[in-house]
Amino acid sequence: MAKIVVKVGTHAIANKAGRPDRAALKRIVDGICALRKSGSEVLFVSSGAVAAGVEALGLKARPTDTNDIQMCAAVGQARFICEYDRLFAARGVKIGQVLLTHADFEDRRRSQNVKKSLDHLVRAGIVPVINENDVVADEELKGQTFGDNDWLSFLLAKLVKADTLVLLTTVDGLLDAAGHRIPEVQNFRNISKLVRAGEKGKLSKGGMDSKLKAVKAAVTAGIDTFIANGRCSVLSQLAEGRLIGTFFPGSAL
């Protein structure tokens, strides 16, 4: 049975104001359910809590003060988890919320406890919905972040020994200098010359550079990885055995 980690970025599931986009959320949930129906075990990493908090609190942009970010995360996380619970329940699927920080991966005892907990949830047929615990994390003060959950997704995929990592964004995959999708990347040696410089939105802290860092680490660990457009039904296509977005085969160096 294949084990897949699916990560979706903020702008793929929220509107410009940060409010959860119900149509986008339903598309993601339907795709995860399709993957499960095809026989895969799925762990789901979802960004968007801080952005939802920004909108709920009437702020104009993502704050820079750590306490304000934590406040937005506390307010926004509740919004997103309620939406996911409702959408998955409509498909007869139970979810479990898991919030993590860097420390959960740096300490072996803690990381193994995380692994055992996630394995138990998956075996019980529950979809773990995972996010960085921005409410208590102080990594931003130290200049350390998960890069809008891109690096968290890699660490998680490595920890649970996932076969595949899927990073969902708002573009069709890795784009070349002319803006055309690159279907597959076999190595990273000339990648900086091939791709368009990454950008990030006002509500998130990631971007294509963050994703490529996570992809390189994942394929080095032997994990097949995709970057694809979360605004399309790509997970359902993947469940049908079709390649999506840009494919990076494990050990593609």
Radius of gyration of the chain (CA): 17
Q: To the nearest whole percent, how much of the chain has pLDDT over 70?
A: 87
Residue whose C-alpha is closest to residue 115's, from 67, 78, 157 = 157
CA separation, residue 30 to residues 49, 68, 234, 238, 247 (Å): 20, 33, 10, 12, 22
Tokens of 193: 């010359």
Which position has the higher pLDDT, 12 or 16?
A: 12
Q: What predicted TM-score, i.e. pTM, was given to this entire model?
A: 0.90
pLDDT of 222 higher than 70: yes
**Residue 187 main-chain phi, psi, to 5 deg:** -155, 165
Task: Note whether 147 and 206 are within 8 A (CB).
Answer: yes
The per-residue pLDDT for range 39-69, each reduced to its tens digit, is: 999 999 999 998 899 999 999 888 888 899 8
Tokens of 96: 């479990």
The one-character DSSP state at 20 is B
Q: Are strands 164-169 and 224-229 parallel, antiparallel or unpaired?
A: parallel
* Coil/strand/helix, residue 120: helix
CATH architecture of 3-248: 3-Layer(aba) Sandwich (3.40)
The 10 Å Cβ neighbour count of residue 156 is: 26
Alpha-carbon gap, residue 147 to 149, rounded angstroms: 5
Q: Please state, rounded to an integer, the average pLDDT across all residues of the chain.
A: 88
Per-residue confidence (pLDDT) for residue 143, from 0 to 100? 46
Q: Where are the domains of the chain?
A: 3-248
**Residue 11 main-chain phi, psi, to 5 deg:** -75, -10
The per-residue pLDDT for range 178-194, each reduced to its tens digit, is: 888 999 988 766 665 55
- Where does the chain show beta strands of DSSP type E? 3-8, 41-46, 95-100, 127-132, 164-169, 224-229, 246-248
